[in-house]
Amino acid sequence: MPDRVIAGSCALVTGGARGIGRAIAVALLREGVKVVIADVDGVAAARTASELAGDGRVVVPVDLDVRDREAFAAVVERIESDVAPVDILVNNAGIMPLGPFLEQSPDRDDRQIDINVRGVVHGMRAVLPGMLRRRRGHVVNVASVAGKVGVPFAAVYAGTKHAVVGLTEAVRHELRDSGVDLSYIMPAIVDTELTSGTRSLRYPPRVRPEQVADAVVRALRTGRVDVFVPEFTRLTAVLPILLPRSVVERVGRWFGIDQVFAELDADARRAYDLRMDAL
């Protein structure tokens, strides 16, 4: 089957002002997609949109806190009135507090769940009715390999990403043959501010945001449901089916999954933690 044509579509990218979201916006603009950059930091969204505009590209910034269901719905309504119908939603906004589970504050837990899970739910509920009426559209949810593996010292984060995987799979089945597709992206550790002050795995090396962006474009072009970045990490889904748990856990320890977040460089992580806790 030939790749789908996405040029001329309109995409809403949450958390689009920096990091993975910015890279996704760049990749989509390169494909000829109109891009709406949504971010809780409206100033950063406007700055990124200004940097990426030009040469006929359509890039629009919006201020959006994905935790606000009514605000999400209003943004989608405004986009569809002023720009174009939302053909693509990339639910990318997310935060990643790290540390021992029992030492994490309930406020941080709530913030993660609200942004990483409820934000995805709000986005899907905002765009899916219109997509279903038009019988076209694609929702891409940025999850994580942590959506398949219990990652020590990132317990609630891993829980939220498991939720994103399950949510996407379930809604996809509900909407089968509707003309609307759903995919989720499963990156390994990405070299962004979220992972500042952490160790690296023995393998694979840190993923670049551009690799995640390319995976999003690949999902949109092919309709692939689950896209692992790099593809090697699909083993996290396959090995638990094939091998005893004790063997799988030994393999994980060899790659360093039990150590990657065990000791944090607080100085290197301070700027991100301050910005995250201010949300």
Catalytic sites, residue numbers? 157
Contact 119, 67 (CB under 8 A): yes
Which among 136, 44, 124, 46 is positioned nearest to 90, based on CA atoms? 124
> Between helices 119-134 and 155-174, what is the axis angle to 10°?
20
Which among 17, 10, 28, 57 is positioned nearest to 216, based on CA atoms? 28
Furthest C-alpha separation in the chain = 55
Give CA–CA dist 179/265, Å, rounded: 47
Give the 3-state secondary structure of residue 249: helix
CA neighbours within 13 Å on the CB side: how many for 68?
13
The residues, any chain, with a CB within 8 Å of residue 66's CB and separated by 6 or more, are: 14, 15, 38, 40, 72, 91, 93, 115, 118, 119, 120, 122, 123
Which among 13, 3, 64 is positioned nearest to 34, based on CA atoms? 13
Residue 64, burial from CB neighbour count under 10 angstroms (0-12, 13-18, 19+): buried
Give CA–CA dist 67/71, Å, rounded: 8
Write out the H or E segment, with its range, that includes residue 142: strand 137-142
